[in-house]
Amino acid sequence: MTEKQCGALIVTIVNRGFSEEVVEASKEAGAGGGTIVHGLGSGSAADAKLFGVAIMPEKDIVLTVVAEEKKHAVMAAIHEKVGLNEKGKGIVFSLPVNDVVGTKNL
């Protein structure tokens, strides 16, 4: 049985405090919202030191499920509004979604 892709999960990982900008950009581009999860980055310890002590940068992960036809517009809006072209600012990528139950946004 072949499953048909019905949508996309857009995953955006940004430094703590930028998740609201991600959700706002997503909504402006047609998404229904997003889920924010807090996490820790695991970048180079040499890059993340404060007074000689290694720190783990805090991250926000925003999960947004959208219809396939909205994926590119939402990702472009996030990229532009949050400024993901700046080094170390964050990343946005998508994964296929084959089945969705419980959402009116697709």
> Does the model's pTM come out above 0.85?
no
End-to-end CA distance of the chain: 22
Count of alpha carbons within 13 angstroms of residue 40, beta-carbon side: 7
Cα separation, 45 vs 31, in Å, equals 36
Rounded distance, CA 9 to CA 26, Å? 12
d(CA 11, CA 88): 16
d(CA 29, CA 8): 14
Per-residue tens of pLDDT for the chain, all 106 residues: 455 678 999 999 999 999 999 999 999 999 999 999 999 877 655 555 656 655 558 899 999 999 999 999 999 999 999 999 888 789 999 999 988 877 665 6
